[in-house]
Amino acid sequence: MKKSYKRMAAMTMAMILAGSLAACQSKPAETAAPETTAAETTTAAETEAEKAGAYTPGTYSATVTGMKEMTVTVTFTADAIESIELEHEETPGIGEPVCESMPDQIIEIQGLGIDAVAGATLSSQAILDGVADCVKQAGGDVEALKAVKPEVVAAEDEELTADVVVIGAGGAGMAAAVTASQEGKSVLVIEKTGNMGGNTALAGGALNAVDDGSETALARDDSVDFHYEQTFNGGDQQGDPELVRTLVENAWDGVEWLKELGMEFQPGVFTVTGGMYERAHKPVEPEGSGFFKTYKAYMEDHDGITMKYNTTAESFIVEDGVVVGVECTGETGNKVTAKANNGVVLATGGFGRNVEMREKYNAETKLWPTLDESIPSTNTPAITGDGMLMAEAIGADLIQMGNIQLLPLGDPKTGSLSGNIEHAVESRIFVNKEGKRFVNEGGRRDEMTLALFEQPDTTMYIIMDSDTYPTGEEVNNFNETISSLVEAGRAYKADTLEELAEQIGVPAENLVASVEEYNRHCQGGDLEGQEDEFGRVLFTDTDKVNNGINNGPFYAAERVPTVHHTMGGVKINTNTEVIDKEGNVIPGLFAAGEVTGGIHGTNRLGGNALTDTVVFGRIAGKSASDYTR
């Protein structure tokens, strides 16, 4: 599943730029003899470069980690970076475009003074680090190359107008944009990064919805009322009942809408971690890429949606108490003014990457031991709470900001969900460094993560067998093959549980006992008074031949706590109108997605976030289209 990109610059340009770099590294001009001309000085510098060479010619490789592991291979001549090849599995729509464009930029300027790309910081920084490593191997001057920056030419200020302005090109924003377009409105989408995607692009893809009967054979008599009950109670009844009801009652209609747009789903339903029940629908495309392929396909077939990337919203434009647009800063620092004939939709996501905000609001609830920089996040680096602060500045009410969700499933290096080997809750267990289970693996996300904080080194291992990986080439929920994860050292594989225990460094007798106890429940071994000690009720079906963890080879993957979702945010009503601190509607402003608060309460059910983006994104797009002033 790995993708490789090779980028080569024209040799003439490379030699010119190499000469310029060599000149920068040569003796300063003021030390030259007075009678030496500039042309003679440049020629002398080039001659020195030719004699010494900026690099030892050859091809060098480095392995670095972006969202996932990547191999960077650079070929050098004596004077230039000739080509850059990347072998990677970065996320489509986020890291992947950077992998296509950044090597060209490095070669074009023959330098490393390129800023990390907003929204794809991990991917872009990994590329820069990998090339720097190769430069060092080739004997080049890394610090000198970091000083070489691309020339930035300031663009003209812009004034743009559309019927509906959407701020944020993530899942909720694009659902709103497409809906407004379907309502016959022109749409302008403002996005501070270089691509649509947001956190939705990094999601595992699970979308909770009680279907219309087509999946009920697998859904164990699920119902909209039961989805409501689990969502409302799962958030300790802090969610607004009307918003929760809106979410669950419109969920399946959202799935059908996506299908009408051309999005495909795998058959059946499953339980995602913290989802509490089998009602998650999984797209055919990996992660959240299917949503954006669908939205892009719509845009290709329909005019009227304009994307404005690398443009940061700064403040709302308010006229006579009505939100009519937004002031932005463009890619080159220019001013971009975007005005709406109808409504403005705020869909900028949460604040999972804003450590200052995390610590501030966690101090109010004291739910988590710490949310400082030592705790990573699954979120893209662009998710920093900007939209919430913009809304607060015009009087919007921010509610339940201390409700911050962590997952126990973070990659130990990056905090991302990639590398997670599980497919569904029923077929795996968690063990600590002692090889012992410590929590209900089918329970609430907050309860699982709080229990993980109490384990040695706040570390656990997911344990599975090969039922969902019969050949080793099958992919996880993030489009990574189990074989590639094992090869990269991000997962472990062994023919026996005893061998697996040795690989991950836990007592074999404990791991075997943990698996045997789990298997007893899978095989219908519950006796009166012998229910699972942690209250788990979700196991592989007893009528399956290979129920339980008993079919080698066996797999393990290390996981740590990671910030995943912020449930607090801008207060809205069921029409997605933003509410101020006095309880009044702020005219002209609508909000959807993780930027809002009051839906999920203290704890969000797994699989409800993507449902949230589709349901409330569509409502916001319709409401903003209908708004007149």
Using CB atoms within 10 Å of the CB of residue 363, give its burial: 0 to 12 exposed, 13 to 18 middle, 19+ buried: exposed
Q: Record the tokens describing residue 413, joined without a space.
A: 């290096």
Cα dihedral across residues 100, 106, 112, 114: positive or negative: negative
DSSP string, 328-372: EE-TTS-EEEEEESS-EEE-----TT-HHHHHHHHHHH--SS--S
Q: Which of 7, 445, 559, 618 is catalytic?
A: 445
Give the span between the Cα atoms of 15 and 7, in whole angstroms.
Answer: 16
Which residue type is seen at 598? G
Per residue, the 3-state secondary structure of 211-265, as one string, reads CCCCCCCCCCCCCHHHHHHHHHHHCCCCCCHHHHHHHHHCHHHHHHHHHHCCCCE
Is-catalytic flag, 445? Answer: yes
Q: Which residues contact 404 (CB under 8 A, 6 or more apart)?
A: 352, 358, 361, 362, 367, 368, 371, 563, 565, 566, 567, 568
Specify whether the CB–CB gap between 595 and 152 falls below 8 A: no
Give the span between the Cα atoms of 591 and 589, in whole angstroms.
Answer: 7
Give the phi and the psi of residue 509 in degrees, each rounded to 5: -65, -35
Determine the longest span between alpha carbons in the chain, in angstroms: 100
Rounded alpha-carbon distances, angstroms, from residue 587 to 90, 210, 615 = 41, 33, 21
Rounded alpha-carbon distances, angstroms, from residue 498 to 415, 432, 469, 546 = 28, 16, 20, 20
Q: Record the tokens describing residue 31, joined without a space.
A: 């030390």
Cα dihedral across residues 408, 413, 416, 420: positive or negative: negative
DSSP string, 370-439: --STTS-BSS-TT-SSHHHHHHHHTTBPEE-TT-EEEEEEE-TTT--STT---S-GGG-EEE-TTS---S
Specify whether the CB–CB gap between 231 and 250 falls below 8 A: no
| Count of residues in the chain | 629
| Residue indicated by tokens 């929760």 | 244
Three-state SS for 623? helix
| Residue indicated by tokens 């939709």 | 345
| Residue indicated by tokens 């061998």 | 499
Q: How many CB atoms lie within 10 A of CB 467?
A: 17
Specify whether the CB–CB gap between 597 and 571 falls below 8 A: yes
Specify whether the CB–CB gap between 175 and 219 falls below 8 A: no
Catalytic positions: 445
